[in-house]
Structure 1
Amino acid sequence: MMNLAHEIIFEILSRLPIESVLRCRSVCKLWYNLGYDSYFIHLHQSKSMKQPPRLVFDRFKENSDIASNLVMVNREEGDYKFREIPLMGFNSDELQVGRRFEIVGSCNGFLCLTFGINFSPSCLYNPITREVMMLPQTDVALRGIPLLNYGFGFDSFHNKYKVVGVFKTFGEILTVGESRWRKLEFPRTVIENDDPRSRSLFLDGIIFWFIEGYEYEILALDIESEKFWTINCPPPKENNYRGNLIEIDGSLAIIDYEYVRPSESKFRSMDVWLVKGSKTIGFSFSVTTYDMSGLHYATARGEVLVMAKLDRDTFLLACELDEGIHINRCSIFLYSPVKQYLSVLGIWESDLQTHWMVPTLKSLMAAIDT
Structure 2
Amino acid sequence: MAEAAPPPLHRGLPDEIAIWEILVRLPPKSLLRCRAVCHAWRRATTARDFLLAHYARQPALPLIYGLGRDIESLDIIPFDHRAGVATADDRLLSVARIGGPYVRPCISCDGLQGLYIGVDQLSIVNPATRQCARLPGFTVTDTHRPVGMYPHSLSGEYRILLAPRDPDDSHQLYTLGSNQPPRPIDIDGRVVDELSPFTPLLFHHSLHWCLDNMTTVFDTTAESFQEVLAPDGADQFMMDEIYGGALFEVDGMLGMSSLNAEFTSVGIWSMHNYESKVWAFKYRVELPLAELTMQFGKFKPYGWGVPSSWDGDVTMLLQFGDWLLQLDMDGKVVASLHRHKGLFPTQHLLKQTLVQHSFFPTLEGYVVNASPFI
TM-score, normalised with respect to structure 2: 0.75
| Separation in structure 1 between the aligned mates of residue 96 and residue 351 of structure 2, nearest angstrom | 18
Structure 1 residue 354: deviation in Å? 3.5
Is contact 1:200-1:207 (8 Å) kept? yes
- Deviation per CA, 1:190-243, whole angstroms, max 9, x where unpaired? 5737986x22221121112245xx32x222112222222221223544642212
Please report how far the alpha carbon of residue 363 of structure 1 lies from its aligned counterpart in structure 2 after TM superposition. Answer: 0.9
- Counterpart code for 1:336: D
Matched, 1:58 2:61: no
Q: SS state of the match for residue 275, structure 1?
A: strand
Q: Does 1:11 align with 2:14?
A: no
Code of the residue aligned with 1:353 in structure 2: it is T
State the Cα deviation string for residues 98-151 of structure 1 (Å, max 9, x = none): 4222141222x3333333325x6x23222111112322324xx37x33756610
Asked if the contact 1:190–1:209 (Cα under 8 Å) also holds between the matched residues in 2, the reply is no
Q: Does 1:231 align with 2:231?
A: no
Q: Which residue of 2 aligns with 1:296?
A: 290
1:207 to 1:233, Cα distance in 2 relative to 1, 3 A: same
Distance 2:58 2:77 in 1: 19
Query: What is the aligned partner in structure 2 of residue 308 from structure 1?
Result: 307
- Give the corresponding residue for 1:69: 75
Q: For 1:201-280, what aligned pairs fall within 5 Å after superposition?
A: 201-210=201-210, 214-215=212-213, 217-237=214-234, 239-242=236-239, 243-249=244-250, 250-260=252-262, 267-278=263-274
Q: Name the CA distance, whole Å, in 2 between partners of 1:200 and 1:77.
A: 29
Separation in 2, partners of 1:155, 1:102: 22
Could you tell me how far apart the structure 2 residues matched to 1:16 and 1:199 are? 28
Distance 1:194 1:62, change over 3 A: farther
Q: What secondary structure, in the 3-state scheme, does the structure 1 residue paired with 2:264 have?
A: strand
- The TM-score with structure 1 as length reference comes to 0.75
Question: Any idea what SS the aligned residue of 1:296 has?
Answer: helix
Shift of 1:183: 2.3
Code of the residue aligned with 2:291 in structure 1: it is: Y
Cα distance in 2 between the residues matched to 1:115 and 1:236: 41
Distance across 1 between alignment mates of 2:171 and 2:343? 26
TM-aligned CA distance change 1:158 to 1:313, over 3 Å: closer
Using a 3 Å threshold, how does the CA distance of structure 1 residues 220 and 154 change in structure 2: closer, same or farther? same
Partner residue, 2:279: 285
When residues 355 and 334 of structure 1 are mapped into structure 2, their CA distance, relative to the original with a 3 A threshold, is: same
Pick from 126, 151, 156 the counterpart of residue 154 of structure 1.
151
* Aligned amino acid, residue 291 of structure 1: V
- Equivalent residues in 2 for 1:1-370 (5 A)? 3-4=7-8, 8=16, 10-18=19-27, 19-33=29-43, 37-38=46-47, 41-50=48-57, 52-64=59-71, 67-74=73-80, 75=82, 77=84, 81-87=91-97, 95-96=99-100, 98-107=101-110, 109-118=111-120, 122-138=122-138, 141=139, 144-145=141-142, 150-168=147-165, 169=167, 170-179=170-179, 180-185=181-186, 187-190=188-191, 192=193, 198-210=198-210, 214-215=212-213, 217-237=214-234, 239-242=236-239, 243-249=244-250, 250-260=252-262, 267-278=263-274, 281-299=275-293, 301-304=298-301, 305-310=304-309, 312-319=313-320, 331-338=323-330, 340-347=332-339, 348-349=341-342, 352-365=345-358
Q: Residue 96 of structure 2 aligns to which amino acid in structure 1?
A: P
In the TM superposition, residue 333 of structure 1 has moved relative to its aligned partner by 1.4
Counterparts of 1:296 and 1:191 in 2: how far apart (Å)?
A: 37
| 8 Å contact from structure 1 (residues 71, 85) kept in 2 | yes
Deviation at 1:12, TM superposition (A): 4.9
Residue 257 of structure 1, CA deviation: 1.5
Count how many residue pairs are aligned between Structure 1 and Structure 2. 331
- CA separation of 1:191 and 1:182: change in aligned 2, threshold 3 A: closer
Shift of 1:29: 4.0
The unaligned stretches of length 5 or more in structure 2 are: 363-374
Give 1 or 2: higher strand fraction.
Answer: 1
State the SS of the aligned residue for 2:52: helix
**Quick one: distance in 1 between partners of 2:287 and 2:83?**
29
Task: Name the residue aligned to 1:326.
Answer: none
Looking at structure 2, the residues matched to 233 and 270 of structure 1 have their Cα atoms a distance apart, in angstroms, of 15
After superposition, the CA RMSD in angstroms is 3.4
The gaps in structure 1 that reach 5 residues or longer are: 89-94, 261-266, 322-329
Deviation at 1:178, TM superposition (A): 0.8
Q: C-alpha offsets along residues 280-312 of structure 1, whole Å, 9 cap, x if unaligned? A: x42110122333332323346244332424352
The offset of 1:31, in angstroms, is: 3.2
CA distance in 1: counterparts of 2:306 and 2:144, whole angstroms: 23
* Runs of 4+ deviating beyond 6 Å: 193-196, 366-369
Q: Describe the shift of the 1:318–1:309 C-alpha distance in structure 2 as closer, same or farther (beyond 3 A).
A: farther
Q: Structure 1 residues 289, 364: CA separation in 2 closer, same or farther (over 3 Å shift)?
A: same
AA in 2 matched with 1:54: L
Aligned-partner Cα distance in 2 for 1:63–1:192:
33
Bigger RCO of structures 1 and 2 (CA < 8 A, at least 6 apart): 2
Residues 146 and 63 (structure 1), Cα distance of their counterparts in 2 relative to 1, 3 Å cut: farther
Deviates most, 181-190 or 128-137:
181-190
Identity of matched residues, %:
15
